[in-house]
Amino acid sequence: MLPKVAQSPTNDDFVQNPYPFYENCLAKGGKVFWEDYNMVSLFKYDDVSSILKDRRFGRECPEDKKQGYRKELAPFYELEDHSMLQLEPPKHTRLRGLVLRAFTSRKVNSMAEEIQTLCAQLIQNFSSNQVNILNEYANKIPVIIIARLLGVPEEMSEQLLRWSNDMVMMYQARRTVKHEERAIKASKEFSAFMRSYIDERRSKPKDDLITHLISAEENGEKLTIDELITTCILLLNAGHEATVHSLGNGIKVLLENKRITIDWQNELKINQLTEEILRFDPPLHIFTRYAYDQIDLGDYTIKKGEEVALVLGATGRDKTLWSDPEYFDPSRVIKKNTAFGGGIHFCVGAALARLEMQIALPMLFAKYPKMELAEKPRYADVYHFHGLEKLLIKLKD
């Protein structure tokens, strides 16, 4: 029998700081039955990463477990049906292969200069000496860059942010009918926009990701229009939501730990800092997997079809890997990190997200080395996401 734990994911103390709960579950062995989710939940790095890589587990819900959804939610779930994130091989392999063909590391690395220019412009245009750095910086960089990569007009970025924010609310613990209505409206509008935009690109090809996705082919097969729409929406949504909060959580922890000094000229130190931020306070805390077979986990046998929670937010607090994991220490050398997942669903945008963090953080801190928190930041009540409501900063150079 696994230990049972109760913890509401919408409790404010938990939302503001979920780590004491994670540490408690790790102390119980890292394998517990989380009553509020009604699921076996894994917290240790080794357990989480081995299940991410184990092909006997997957994201796609087995046919006999599908619960169906109210028909008014169809516009959202019909998009999800074509999302590589919700599929397993062979459908996943085909979709991911076609995307990786267009989303090459050369393409990502070629964005470095553009990210630098964008960060400099945003810093230059800060509205006053006290800013909500999430709105004026962290939110803007990832959405503008992914819009440019895809080839969607960047004047649309505010609209893209609204659609995306409304859609991802479907995954949070405090989901209400209001959230669902907004997500459905956003799904309809976003997919209508993408459909007409893809049509336009077909007739006027450019050197952008949408054009490459339209022409990408594997074994003579191309993406269908529905797959194209969903893939563009997935890249736009996934391409910024988590990066915004990695930047926000990173700026927060650096300002809360003023004793820590970073050599902003040293690329290696900046890369280390980025990994430490993603270990210490990652933006996505739980993903689940279905067991496609009966699987023995040592002290627990998972039934075929059972859903298991992988608590990515906790693996960085695993004492078997890190000494004093509750301390933020950018001098750590981190080789093991589940912030971007693992296995066949490993984040397609990890290199882009890292690049954005490695450019945006030093540029901000080099310009305003003495900036301070203007108030104690609060995390938004949207678990399993873990990002701030706002981040008010007094800018001082």
Query: Is residue 341 part of the contact set for ligand HEM (CB under 6 A)?
Result: yes
Interface residue with ligand HEM, options 15, 84, 160, 251 (CB under 6 A): 84
Query: Is residue 349 part of the contact set for ligand HEM (CB under 6 A)?
Result: yes
Task: Give, as one character, the DSSP assignment of residue 171.
Answer: G
Interface residue with ligand HEM, options 34, 163, 340, 379 (CB under 6 A): 340
Tokens of 238: 């996934």
Cα 243 from Cα 348, distance rounded (Å): 13
Cα 103 from Cα 95, distance rounded (Å): 12
CA distance to 100, 101, 122, 389, per residue, from 105 (Å): 9, 10, 25, 32
Residue 72 CB, shortest distance to ligand HEM, in Å, is: 26
241-300 positions binding ligand HEM, by CB under 6 A: 242-243, 246, 282-284, 287
Query: Is residue 152 part of the contact set for ligand HEM (CB under 6 A)?
Result: no
Tokens of 188: 């309809």
Q: For ligand HEM, give the closer residue by CB, 99 or 255.
A: 99
Pairing of strands 57-58, 286-291: antiparallel
Measured in degrees and rounded to the nearest 5, phi and psi for residue 221 equal -105, 140
Which residues are CB-contacts of 97 (< 8 A; sequence separation ≥ 6)?
218
Residue 149 CB, shortest distance to ligand HEM, in Å, is: 7
Q: Are 36 and 67 in contact (CB under 8 A)?
A: no
Interface residue with ligand HEM, options 30, 151, 239, 387 (CB under 6 A): 239
Query: Is residue 352 part of the contact set for ligand HEM (CB under 6 A)?
Result: yes
Query: Is residue 134 part of the contact set for ligand HEM (CB under 6 A)?
Result: no
295-334 positions binding ligand HEM, by CB under 6 A: 312
Cα 79 from Cα 232, distance rounded (Å): 11
Q: For ligand HEM, give the closer residue by CB, 140 or 345.
A: 345
Where does this chain bind ligand HEM (CB under 6 A)?
59, 84-85, 96, 146, 234-235, 238-239, 242-243, 246, 282-284, 287, 312, 339-341, 345, 347-349, 352-353
